[in-house]
């Protein structure tokens, strides 16, 4: 069943279907809450996901230079002449170790906040050491970039397992196989050395940033952080006439944070959006970039509308965007975002190849993950591999919300009835119809138990021992799967 069919069945059971937008939205909200809670509550076979993530090798640069800072601006420090580290944004959020500095207080471990150019990076001192200013410009120092923590995808609800399964691995020491989980208490009691390198045999999960460091959730978009206006442009860059909503999210250390409130804009003939944001370096923290999302409220010519929030950064361009009012930061690559110091930027001329008033191009931009809230699971491998190696990660994933009538739950068809029963329980309780609420609670509980027997159990090499018999007519042992409470 899709969203419309689920709601129709709910309205049929409750015998109540007012043509009121607020009530329709409330039912959609309840359906999504039930759906998302059920999908992520247990390790259902359909909610598990396996991906390969590559570890990043250590990179050592011997001729790097650190630039002095003042006590008034100690948060982010500039490191220049770092070569391959700055050229690869995947190192954002990794550890940078500084050695051979003239002043001993400048040495230690830092987080890489931003890779803004091909030659320099911004770093900040790890919180466990405090954040003192760099007092002198030293002679060239040695820096080592290390991927100590692997950030899992934003749809990860909880990691379930880590292993090495790729048969094509030819680099690094062996052997390969399962990697066993250690909880953080065991990790602390064993005192595992953080800088040990080699083939990993254990992993430690982190449901937040280790050490209480700054994360993208510390920088929520505030009212006034984004202003959008319509500016004149040539026909090849103009957006379709209509109404739109734009949203801001910050990116810090390679992670996208929560999406802010909508900013409305009406676009007339031969116009396109211009985005004005604040200079995020004024807080002393470099590398806080801005991402823009949009929603089509209404296209005047076709009356098209939808509820999907789309990610402007998801589309690659052929040229690097040029800001209208640039700061010293620069856009690296052909993805559209707003650097930390840049304040004002137009929609790039070749974004979508030039919109050309074509609503189909705007509709082709991928929808943003609606589960992005700025929180990410991380894992630390021990020993840490300092070479490229694919790690197979299995986890419970989030699901996309049901926003439009044709959206279908990412679950087998026989599970959809559970959503209906549980949503009816919520609605009857909301309307104080407690006997009916109890009835559909019983139905939903029975449905969940039935689904657990099917979608939480898989045949494997080992079984719970049960009765069996052997005879000429039935010569193979009969194995019975027994579900434990």
Residues whose CB falls within 8 Å of the CB of residue 372, separated by 6 or more in sequence, listed in order: 154, 249, 256, 257, 258, 259
Please report, in tens digits, the pLDDT of each residue of the chain (485 residues total): 999 999 999 999 999 999 899 999 999 999 999 999 999 999 999 999 999 998 888 999 998 988 766 544 556 778 888 888 887 888 888 999 999 888 787 888 888 888 866 678 888 876 444 556 666 666 789 999 999 999 999 899 999 999 887 666 655 555 566 789 998 888 888 988 988 988 888 999 998 777 777 788 888 899 899 999 999 999 989 999 999 999 999 988 888 888 999 999 999 999 999 999 988 888 777 788 899 999 999 999 999 998 899 999 887 776 666 655 544 455 666 778 887 777 788 888 888 888 888 899 999 998 887 766 767 899 999 999 888 888 899 999 999 999 889 999 999 999 999 999 999 999 999 999 999 999 999 999 999 999 998 898 654 434 444 444 444 444 444 455 555 54
Q: Residue 116 has what pLDDT?
A: 65
> Residue 298 and residue 266: Cα distance in Å, rounded?
10
Among residues 434, 417, 416, the alpha carbon closest in space to that of 425 is found at 434
> Residue 307 and residue 287: Cα distance in Å, rounded?
31
> Residue 127 and residue 110: Cα distance in Å, rounded?
9
> Residue 205 and residue 157: Cα distance in Å, rounded?
12
Secondary structure (3-state) at 299 = strand
> Residue 323 and residue 349: Cα distance in Å, rounded?
11
The β-bridge relationship of strands 202-206 and 178-181 is parallel
Q: DSSP character for 311?
A: E
Q: Residue 283 has what pLDDT?
A: 72
Q: Residue 474 has what pLDDT?
A: 44
> Residue 288 and residue 266: Cα distance in Å, rounded?
28
Q: DSSP character for 384?
A: B
> Residue 393 and residue 161: Cα distance in Å, rounded?
6
Quickly list DSSP for 46-59: GGEEEEEEEPPPPE
**DSSP H helices in 73-217:** 84-87, 184-190
Q: Residue 77 has what pLDDT?
A: 79
Q: Residue 412 has what pLDDT?
A: 95
pTM, to two decimals: 0.84
- The neighbour count for residue 344, using CB atoms within 10 Å, is 15
**Dihedral pair phi/psi, residue 55, rounded to 5°:** -75, 155
Q: Residue 472 has what pLDDT?
A: 46
């Amino acid at each position: 069943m899709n969203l419309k069919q689920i709601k129709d069945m709910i309205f049929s059971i409750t015998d109540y279907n007012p043509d009121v937008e607020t009530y329709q939205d409330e039912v959609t909200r309840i359906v999504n809450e039930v759906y998302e809670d059920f999908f992520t509550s247990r390790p259902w076979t359909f909610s598990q996901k396996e991906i390969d993530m590559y570890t990043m090798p250590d990179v050592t640069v011997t001729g790097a230079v650190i630039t002095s800072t003042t006590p008034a601006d100690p948060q982010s420090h500039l490191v220049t002449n770092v070569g391959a580290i700055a050229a690869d944004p995947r190192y954002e959020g990794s550890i940078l170790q500084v050695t051979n500095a003239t002043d001993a207080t400048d040495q230690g471990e830092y987080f890489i906040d931003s890779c803004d150019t091909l030659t320099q990076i911004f770093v900040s001192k790890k919180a466990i050491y405090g954040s003192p200013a760099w007092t002198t410009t030293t002679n060239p120092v040695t820096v080592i970039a290390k991927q100590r923590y692997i950030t899992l995808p934003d749809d990860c609800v909880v990691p379930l397992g880590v292993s090495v399964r790729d048969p094509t691995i030819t680099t690094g020491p062996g052997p390969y196989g399962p990697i066993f989980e250690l909880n953080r208490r065991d990790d602390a009691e064993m005192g595992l050395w953080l800088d040990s390198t080699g083939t990993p045999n254990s992993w430690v999960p982190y449901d937040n940033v280790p050490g209480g460091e700054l994360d993208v959730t510390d920088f929520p978009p505030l009212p006034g952080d984004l202003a959008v206006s319509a500016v004149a442009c040539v026909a090849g860059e103009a957006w379709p006439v209509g109404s739109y909503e734009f949203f801001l999210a910050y990116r810090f250390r390679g992670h996208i944070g929560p999406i802010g409130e909508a900013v409305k804009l009406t676009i007339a003939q031969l116009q396109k959006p211009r985005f004005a944001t604040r200079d995020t370096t004024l807080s002393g923290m470099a590398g806080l970039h801005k991402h823009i999302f949009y929603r089509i409220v209404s296209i005047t010519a076709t009356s098209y509308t939808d509820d999907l929030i789309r990610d402007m950064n998801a589309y690659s361009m052929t040229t690097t965007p040029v800001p209208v009012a640039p700061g010293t930061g620069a856009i690296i690559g052909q993805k559209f975002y707003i650097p930390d110091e840049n304040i004002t930027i137009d929609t790039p001329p070749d974004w979508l190849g030039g919109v050309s008033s074509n609503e189909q191009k705007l509709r082709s931009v991928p929808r943003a993950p609606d589960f992005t809230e700025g929180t990410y699971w991380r894992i630390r491998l021990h020993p840490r591999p300092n070479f490229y190696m694919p790690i197979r990660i299995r986890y419970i994933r989030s699901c996309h919300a049901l926003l439009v009538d044709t959206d279908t739950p990412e679950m087998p068809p026989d599970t959809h009835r559970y959503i209906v029963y549980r949503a009816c329980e919520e609605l009857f309780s909301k309307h104080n119809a407690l006997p009916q609420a109890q009835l559909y609670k019983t139905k939903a509980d029975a449905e969940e138990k039935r689904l657990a027997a099917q979608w939480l159990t898989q045949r494997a090499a080992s079984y719970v021992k049960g009765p069996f018999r052997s005879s000429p007519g039935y010569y193979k042992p009969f194995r019975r799967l027994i579900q434990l409470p």
